[in-house]
A and B are shown apart, each in its own frame.
Chain A
């Protein structure tokens, strides 16, 4: 039986794993192995994250003083635009799905690979082409429209590389569409015998919901960018009123994608958190079906709330009311998840390894991010708050406090599976705590700045805002250190980390029932699933006594 094989396989190296099976450059670049593709994504998104982070550092340093002295406003406008574009389109959107999802979904459902391995490789190449084109245009002089590309500034007035960056984003979108398509087909058709829909890990459910948004939403941004290019290059009047267009139309099209895109970013993170909370409490997740369906509900309702970005843009007051109402409705499934995660801890057996620290940090930060979303969904209040630092703080709480924290938690959690090595638990915990403290110090003051009225995208600002900006910049330096540390100790663990073994935490998921790192075909024998999701008791077939003996022998 598979479970017995993998348990007894502990300690012995499998003959070849996915990392050692071929070492030429060609064997990587032409691979169809979802795990190798995931590793190449991991390296690429990390580089984009580093670049986006350097832009963020420039922003925070510039805002240390009220005057625009470190960089002039022409540069500052490019810096915040490029920070947004790199982080959103090239880090936040691909990171969890393309790295962790790619690596884990086939293993979690007991498949050898994704359903369409060549398409998976194609989507990596598309991502690279889009990314390189964007990088090239940034080096040529960059773009200064804000990541939102609002018209008619972007079509008629901006003298920057709007077309090239737009093309980069347009191309990159197809990578997202193909990945989403691949996941949907895989989850429908490739599940191992016994892996029913309600035995799927919630990570897989979350990716299913994400994939729906990817394939339904991304074509709209592609069309929008195309229309923008038509107007900018050919002068066809679509968005600029001077040639017969409507600038508000652009905002409708843009947010019709870009609001659901927020859910593309956060839903996979929620999936990671469901895994971490349940597994590190060694307790079945509370309300499995409610968490699973709340992901689907978020994906569906997420398409109906785009107008809440436009309460003061000149859309009709009554349209605003409908969008505000739906925004309040979409808050409920997120609240359901929050309560279920908390309830999962009740009467569990909770251990505080680094991934769990990230998960608990996520609960706190996402709570604040979600609740401040209600502030911004409430129309009367958002008239004052929109386009201020309150919005900046809110979406960083959701995107960094939510998505990035979940991604880091997931990277630590599955690191032993992906590399076969354990990272340093000591440094892991230190960095998790630095990230949490640094993050709050950076972004909490921005809520107050926003209510005081400091507008976003300002290179210079009135003096009374300086004190809170100094706090924010100080916090950013702590956050920066916390985020750089994993790069060091994770890289160190590749060479010097202790061998992880197949199942270092003795967890029941299928990914823990194969070798670390897994062989190219994932499982030596096709697994047959006879246990429920998050089954920690005897039915899971895990030999806990064996694991205890294993631990004892290691200590000696």
Chain B
């Protein structure tokens, strides 16, 4: 059982915007009570006062009242607008991830959650995060729809095959909280969950160094790019390379052969790997084969992480692989982490 929160019957309040959701909830309860009490009192009062005293009586007719109708149309409208605006503000906060968030990849599959940290740690059905840090999850799924739901953080987001969805939160309270899958996903839907562990920064650093870190996403991506998938044979080599220049492409506008321009975001890079003929960069031939079926969702995440890490060659030189994204999301170095045994992963 989770520790009881400040109001019984409520889940733990453990993220920076949980209180906003709770206040919205209290406001709506207040509105509901303010509507319910007068109506219920009126119904009971009328039911008693005007109960039938004579069979088949014909009380005086009343046809309605324009004034009353106007009043009881406008007041609910105004109140519902306050609910709308309050809800929209909180929603905007929930779905606008800050730029300085620490990014974690999450991949759902029937019936487990896989998470990968920028520093290379991988987890299944668990998520370790430091308290007081803004965390952004970039999520997708290998199969059907899922939904990543953490009640204590008052947030959830569907995880959709074929695209990336995002959620963010700032944990405010150390503890262990439920992760649920909230979108029905088949046989073991109710077993698809786990816990998020919110830790002090120091404990989190210990956890990072105590757990086996595989390749970081950028490292894995570089490996795929240069060796396993052979992307580098076309996408590097300088002025005469056959594939589009990827250094510095992330987050910038690209002109397509069709004359359109698109922003080269994660979705674009993903689509270009899986369906390369659809949106070809101007100046290049549509000669790239599809990699659909050859890369897993995690490998795609790593490839994208690597491409994001590529900075224009002119500025940093070809040897640089240190990505700005990694630099500001992995404050700790964990060069020795590979030496640890898996059982060391138990400081919770």
Contacts and interface: CB of A to CB of B under 8 A. Distances in A.
Asked if A and B bind, the verdict is yes
Interface stretch (B68-76, B222-230, B257-265, B339-347): B68-76
B56 A548 contact: yes
A462 B2 CA distance: 10
A388 B180 CA distance: 10
A284 B182 contact: no
A10 interface: no
Given A364-B40, A378-B83, A460-B191, A350 B51 contact: yes
A336 B72 CA distance: 7
Contacts of B156: 312, 383-384, 386-387
A250 B93 CA distance: 28
Given A286-B64, A342-B39, A462-B178, A74 B187 contact: yes
B19 to A, nearest CB: 12
A457 B92 CA distance: 28
Given A371-B36, A374-B80, A380-B20, A247 B161 contact: yes
Nearest to A291: B64
Contacts of A289: 64
Contacts of B36: 367-368, 371
A290 B50 contact: no
Interface string A217-254: 00000000000000000000000111010111000000
A457 B189 contact: yes
B81 A328 contact: yes
Contacts of A246: 162
Interface in A247-306: 247-248, 281-284, 286-290
Given A379-B88, A387-B182, A461-B190, A455 B35 contact: no
B60 A381 contact: no
Contacts of B183: 150, 387
B91 A311 contact: yes
A288 B24 contact: no
A453 B151 contact: yes
B46 A346 contact: yes
Contacts of A335: 72-73, 76
B284 interface: no
A316 B264 CA distance: 18
B291 interface: no
A57 interface: no
B61 A383 contact: no
Contacts of B190: 68, 73, 455, 457-461
A349 to B, nearest CB: 4
A5 to B, nearest CB: 20
Given A73-B190, A387-B149, A455-B180, A282 B43 contact: no
B186 interface: yes
Most chain B C-beta atoms within 10 Å of own C-beta, residue among A338, A379, A380, A452: A380
A150 B145 contact: yes
A77 B189 contact: yes
B8 to A, nearest CB: 10
Given A378-B86, A380-B87, A506 B56 contact: yes
Contacts of A388: 182
A378 B28 contact: yes
A290 to B, nearest CB: 5
A377 B64 contact: no
B21 A544 contact: no
A413 interface: no
A153 interface: yes
Main secondary structure of the interface of B (DSSP, over half): mixed
Residues of B in contact with A, size category:
35 or more
A57 B96 CA distance: 43
B240 interface: no
B69 A336 contact: yes
A375 interface: yes
Interface residues of A, number: 100
B10 A317 contact: no
A314 B163 contact: yes
B9 interface: yes
Given A331-B80, A336-B69, A381 B87 contact: yes
B234 interface: no
A401 B180 CA distance: 29
Contacts of A286: 62, 64-65
A452 B64 contact: no
B155 A384 contact: yes
B131 to A, nearest CB: 20
Contacts of A331: 76, 80
Contacts of B25: 375, 381, 451
Contacts of B84: 324-325, 328, 377-378
B294 interface: no
B143 to A, nearest CB: 6
A551 interface: yes
Nearest to B83: A378
Nearest to B96: A317
Contacts of A144: 186-187
A313 interface: yes
A173 B225 CA distance: 52
Interface string B53-67: 111111111111100
Contacts of B2: 464
Contacts of A456: 182, 184
Given A352-B51, A548-B56, A380 B187 contact: no
Contacts of B52: 282, 349-351
Given A345-B46, A387-B147, A247 B160 contact: yes
B186 A77 contact: yes
B56 A153 contact: no
B43 A342 contact: yes
B1 interface: yes
Contacts of B144: 150, 152-153, 156-157
Contact of A158 (B72, B161, B186, B188): B186
A120 interface: no
Nearest to A290: B69
B31 interface: yes
B94 interface: yes
B9 A448 contact: yes
Interface in A314-349: 314, 317, 320-321, 324-325, 328-329, 331-332, 335-336, 338-340, 342-343, 345-349
Contacts of B92: 317
B185 interface: yes
Contacts of B46: 342, 345-346, 348, 350
Contacts of B185: 153
A282 B59 contact: yes
B80 A329 contact: yes
A384 B151 contact: yes
Contact of A464 (B1, B39, B161, B188): B1
25 contacts: A73-B188, A144-B187, A145-B184, A150-B145, A152-B143, A152-B144, A152-B145, A153-B184, A284-B63, A287-B64, A342-B43, A346-B62, A349-B58, A350-B52, A363-B39, A368-B32, A379-B88, A380-B90, A381-B24, A381-B28, A383-B21, A383-B94, A388-B182, A460-B191, A548-B56
Interface of B: 1-2, 9-11, 20-21, 24-25, 28, 31-32, 35-36, 39-40, 42-43, 46-47, 50-65, 68-69, 72-73, 76-77, 80-81, 83-84, 86-96, 110, 143-145, 147, 149, 151-152, 154-158, 160-163, 165, 178, 180-191, 275
- Across chains A and B, which 5 residue pairs bring their CB atoms closest together, nearest first? A380-B90, A241-B162, A453-B151, A378-B87, A379-B91
Given A144-B186, A312-B147, 19 more contacts: A77-B187, A150-B144, A153-B186, A283-B61, A332-B73, A347-B50, A349-B59, A360-B47, A364-B40, A377-B84, A383-B155, A384-B155, A387-B183, A451-B10, A451-B25, A453-B178, A458-B190, A464-B2, A538-B58
